[in-house]
Amino acid sequence: MRCRTQRRRWPSHRRGPRVCSSLPQPPVELTVPSGFAACAARSHIADGPENARSPASCREEAGTFTAVADAHTNDLQSNDGFRLLVESVRDYAIFMLDTTGHVVTWNLGAERIKGYQASEIIGKHFSVFYLPDDAATGICEAELIEAERLGRIEAEGWRVRKDGSKFWAAVVITALRDQDGTLRGFAKVTRDVTEQQKVTQALLEHERLLAETQRLARLGSWEWDIAADRMTWSEELFRIFGLDPLEFVPTYEAYLARLGAEDRIIADELVRKAVERGDPYAFEHQVRLPDGGVRWVQARGRVIRDETGRVAKLQGTAQDVTDQREALDARAQLETLALRQRHALEVNDDIIQGLAVADLALNLEAYDKAREAVATTLAAARQFVTDLLGDAAGDISPGDLRRRSAENG
């Protein structure tokens, strides 16, 4: 059905919206109560005094007429005021579509947001407001079908102005039905929310960068609403603890359960002091993973107070420092090994020198000097063994070594 348009007569200082003749129109016809117009005539002229109606009866009917006329006038003024309101709104595009999606009304907001004059757009299909690729998918028809089924739908997406520029739109489409429930068209309200969308996208990008930063830094974050006893974890924190955010519900007790016994006591004490005194805290502890593995975590926390100064929340971070700890341990082992190697070289030099002195003393038949050199060399060797094997080796005397050697054949 192609919608015909008509222009109603409005006062000269303004024009009304274009409307589709197929859509219901407000009642504007004033109906005179039957008998009132002839009342006075019958009283004085028509059928004679015997059929004349009383002045009281005429006044009663006159009052009824006035009430009906006033009601119709108020309805007309109300509809006029509503139309004027819709026409004047500039921040919202408010217009009507017929049952097939063709534009039948247009307001100033629609003109400002979409760039079309009423004469340019009325009668055209509302798919002209969509990106061509989107319109080709049948989204326009689908929206009308859904609005007809549900009565009202909301959507957001890119829309196109007359000049081809894009804007992000928040859209509401409402099905319009008459008293019999017959679909007569749709009301469409569109708002340009491009700036809000930019803010939303900036927030999403910030969250994405934060999540990426946390992933790279292996830094998770958490917040504990103490009054509501509700704890929230970041995605990275779930990863650090080896837990699935779809299956695990974070709680303070569940957090403590994943710590070792000693770390659990320390963590609980630090949190208790933070809540009672507002002290921030930081300490390293191990986390037991579901697969049996262990990670080292650098935990930090601080209190958040409400407007009354009471502690309302705890916020904190947990950084996976397992690699750092392993690197430090590996470095410590390397440093220990390097120290032992250096010590071994020094001891080796001492032993070689001692043996050389002993050999020289024996050649000179300086037996006391030779014994002294041998004793010094054995002491250096014994100290070297002590450093390598620990304190236990330090308790073994040369006699013990000789006896064990003899016992072993």
Predicted pLDDT of residue 218: 79
14: left (phi over 0), alpha (psi -120 to 50) or beta: beta
Shared domain for 156 and 131, answered yes or no, is yes
**Which tops the pLDDT comparison, 62 or 321?**
321
| Percent of all residues in the chain with a pLDDT value above 70, rounded to a whole number | 62
Weakest-pLDDT range from 87-91, 142-146, 371-375: 87-91
Answer whether residue 25 is part of any domain.
no
Write down the pTM of the prediction.
Answer: 0.44
Distance CA 33, CA 62 (A): 9
**Which tops the pLDDT comparison, 387 or 377?**
377
Q: Is the pLDDT of residue 199 over 50?
A: yes
Nearest to 233 by CA among 247, 256, 249: 249
Q: Could you report the per-residue pLDDT of 41-88, keeping only the tens digit for each?
A: 333 333 444 444 444 444 444 344 344 444 444 443 445 655 565 655
Beta bridge partners of 303: 314
The full DSSP string for 249-310 is ---HHHHHHTB-HHHHHHHHHHHHHHHHH---EEEEEEEE-TTS-EEEEEEEEEEEE-TTS-
Long-range contacts of 124-133 (CB under 8 A, 24+ apart): 125/100, 125/101, 126/97, 126/101, 126/102, 126/188, 127/101, 128/160, 129/159, 129/160, 129/190, 130/159, 130/160, 131/158, 131/159, 131/160, 131/166
In the chain, the number of structural domains is 3
Shared domain for 301 and 207, answered yes or no, is yes
Predicted pLDDT of residue 185: 95
Answer whether residue 58 is part of any domain.
no
Distance CA 244, CA 238 (A): 6
Predicted pLDDT of residue 400: 52
Predicted pLDDT of residue 356: 65
Answer whether residue 361 is part of any domain.
yes
- Among 286, 320, 354, identify where a domain stops: 320
Predicted pLDDT of residue 191: 92
Strands 219-225 and 311-320, sheet pairing: antiparallel
Strand arrangement, sheet containing 92-97 = 92-97, 183-192, 166-177, 152-160
| Domain coverage including residue 235 | 202-320
Shared domain for 315 and 352, answered yes or no, is no
Answer whether residue 1 is part of any domain.
no
Confidence of residue 21 (pLDDT cuts 50, 70, 90): very low
CATH number for 257: 3.30.450.20
Confidence of residue 34 (pLDDT cuts 50, 70, 90): very low
Which helix (H) or strand (E) segment holds residue 99: the answer is none
Shared domain for 314 and 211, answered yes or no, is yes
Shared domain for 253 and 288, answered yes or no, is yes
- Among 161, 192, 223, identify where a domain stops: 192
Predicted pLDDT of residue 9: 34
Shared domain for 240 and 315, answered yes or no, is yes
**Which tops the pLDDT comparison, 91 or 9?**
91
Predicted pLDDT of residue 122: 96
Shared domain for 344 and 380, answered yes or no, is yes
Predicted pLDDT of residue 309: 87
- Among 250, 285, 320, identify where a domain stops: 320
Q: Please answer whether residues 33 and 68 qualify as being in contact, where contact means their C-beta atoms are separated by less than 8 angstroms.
A: yes
Answer whether residue 261 is part of any domain.
yes
Q: Is the pLDDT of residue 324 over 70?
A: yes
**Which tops the pLDDT comparison, 100 or 69?**
100
Confidence of residue 408 (pLDDT cuts 50, 70, 90): very low
Distance CA 216, CA 403 (A): 60
Distance CA 132, CA 392 (A): 85
Is the sign of the CA dihedral 118, 121, 125, 131 positive or negative? negative
Strands (E), 37-182: 92-97, 152-160, 166-177
Eight-class DSSP state of 25: -
Mean pLDDT, the chain, rounded, equals: 75
Nearest to 302 by CA among 274, 272, 266: 274
Q: Is the pLDDT of residue 19 over 70?
A: no
Answer whether residue 39 is part of any domain.
no
Strands (E), 35-101: 92-97
Shared domain for 309 and 368, answered yes or no, is no
Eight-class DSSP state of 46: S
Shared domain for 316 and 210, answered yes or no, is yes
Q: Please answer whether residues 299 and 293 qualify as being in contact, where contact means their C-beta atoms are separated by less than 8 angstroms.
A: no
Confidence of residue 28 (pLDDT cuts 50, 70, 90): very low
Distance CA 302, CA 304 (A): 7
Which helix (H) or strand (E) segment holds residue 386: the answer is helix 367-389
Shared domain for 156 and 232, answered yes or no, is no
Shared domain for 178 and 223, answered yes or no, is no
Shared domain for 142 and 207, answered yes or no, is no
